[in-house]
């Protein structure tokens, strides 16, 4: 696949243009790009301003599997922090943790738990959470 470079277009140019047409792969007007980019083509957009028309293509440049649910860094986890661990509780609060009074546990992102070195204290998820 050969990637063609368009003439220098600033982000300001793109921001001041409006999309006049969006085409899915295989529609008339996108077939030549489908031939060039194949399965990586997502869509073709025609943009225009008061003087010019621009053709843009959206392609997939990378893909990978997501980690299994419950292991992603943005997932929330339940952590047990003893009441006497005041410094640790304060650090957890600065990382965005919140106290769940019903469960009597701290809720924080897995990333925050990792940053604080609390991965060993992550409690297993219960059904319905």
Reported as a single tens digit per residue, the pLDDT across 28-70 is 999 999 999 999 999 999 999 888 999 999 999 999 887 676 6
Q: How confident is the model at residue 1 (pLDDT cuts 50, 70, 90)?
A: low
Q: At a CB cut-off of 8 Å and minimum separation 6, what does 22 contact?
A: 43, 44, 45, 46
What's the confidence (pLDDT) of residue 65? 85
What's the confidence (pLDDT) of residue 128? 46
Q: What is the pLDDT of residues 69-78, one digit of tens each?
A: 666 666 889 9
What's the confidence (pLDDT) of residue 102? 92
Q: Do 126 and 112 touch, CB atoms closer than 8 A?
A: no
What's the confidence (pLDDT) of residue 127? 47
First-to-final CA distance of the chain: 46
Q: Where are the alpha helices (DSSP H) in 1-129?
A: 11-16, 31-37, 86-94, 110-115
Report, as an integer, the average pLDDT of 1-17.
64
What's the confidence (pLDDT) of residue 41? 95
What sign does the dihedral 26-32-33-36 (CA atoms) show? Answer: positive
What's the confidence (pLDDT) of residue 75? 83
What whole-number distance in Å separates Cα of residue 49 and Cα of residue 25? 24
Instruction: Give me the chain's average pLDDT, please.
Output: 85
Q: For the sheet containing 41-48, what is the strand order?
A: 18-23, 41-48, 53-59
Distance of CA 47 to the CA centre of its chain: 25
Of residues 97 and 12, more confidence is placed in: 97
């Amino acid at each position: 696949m050969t990637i063609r470079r368009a003439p220098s277009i600033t982000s300001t140019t793109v921001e001041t243009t409006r999309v006049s047409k969006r085409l899915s792969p295989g529609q008339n007007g996108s077939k030549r790009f489908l031939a060039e980019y194949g399965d990586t083509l997502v869509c073709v957009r025609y943009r225009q301003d008061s003087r010019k028309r621009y053709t843009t293509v959206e392609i997939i440049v990378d893909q990978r599997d997501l980690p299994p649910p419950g292991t992603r860094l943005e997932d929330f986890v339940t952590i047990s922090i003893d009441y006497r661990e005041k410094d640790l509780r304060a650090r957890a609060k600065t990382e965005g943790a919140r106290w769940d009074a019903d469960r009597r546990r701290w809720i924080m992102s897995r990333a925050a738990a990792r940053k604080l070195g609390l991965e060993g204290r992550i409690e297993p998820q219960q059904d319905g959470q």
